[in-house]
Amino acid sequence: MAPIRIDVEGVGGVKLTTDAELDKWLTNQGVDALLDSDGDQVVGFATLVDGSRYTLGPLILQQQQQQQQPPQPQQAGITDLLEEAKGGPLTDSEIDYALANYSRYIDEILGKTDEQERSRLTSRLWIRLSVRIKTQTRLAIRGQYLFDGLVPGAFGRAGTEVQFAVRGSSLFCAKTMLETGDLQREHMIATRIHSNQTCPTVMPVLDMIDLPGEPRRITMVTPYYPISLAPLANGNLHEEGCVNVALCGLATIKAFHRKGICHGDIKPGNMMLTARSDNVVVTIDFGSAVEYGESLVSVTPQFGLNCPLEGSLKYDLTCLASSLYVICTGEKLPKTSKQLLEKLVGGNRMLPPTLQIVMICLQLNDIDSVWESAKVCIEAADGMDHSLIVRHDTVWPKVT
> Given a cut of 50, is residue 252 above it in pLDDT?
yes
Bigger pLDDT: 205 vs 223: 205
Sequence ranges of the chain with CATH classification 3.10.20: 4-65
Question: What homologous superfamily does CATH list for 160-221?
Answer: Phosphorylase Kinase; domain 1 (3.30.200.20)
Q: At what angle do helices 313-329 and 337-345 cross, to 10 degrees?
A: 40
Quote the CA–CA distance of 78 and 217 in Å, as a whole number. 28
Q: Is 32 helix (H, G, I), strand (E, B) or coil?
A: coil
Tell me, what's the pLDDT at 174?
65
Quote the CA–CA distance of 289 and 298 in Å, as a whole number. 9
Q: At what angle do helices 115-133 and 92-101 cross, to 10 degrees?
A: 110
Quote the CA–CA distance of 279 and 261 in Å, as a whole number. 26
The CATH classification number of 4-65 equals 3.10.20
Residue 82: in which H helix or E strand, if any? helix 73-86
Residue 113's Cβ-side half-sphere holds a number of Cα atoms within 13 Å equal to: 0
Residue 266's Cβ-side half-sphere holds a number of Cα atoms within 13 Å equal to: 38
Sequence ranges of the chain with CATH classification 1.10.510.10: 227-399
Residue 42, strand partner residues: 34
Is the CB of residue 41 less than 8 Å from the CB of residue 57?
Answer: yes
Residue 398, strand partner residues: 198
* pLDDT tens, residue by residue, 26-68: 777 667 677 776 666 765 666 777 777 777 766 544 444 444 4
Quote the CA–CA distance of 289 and 190 in Å, as a whole number. 10
Tell me, what's the pLDDT at 221?
55
* pLDDT tens, residue by residue, 275-292: 666 788 999 888 899 999
Query: CATH fold of 227-399, please?
Result: Transferase(Phosphotransferase); domain 1 (1.10.510)
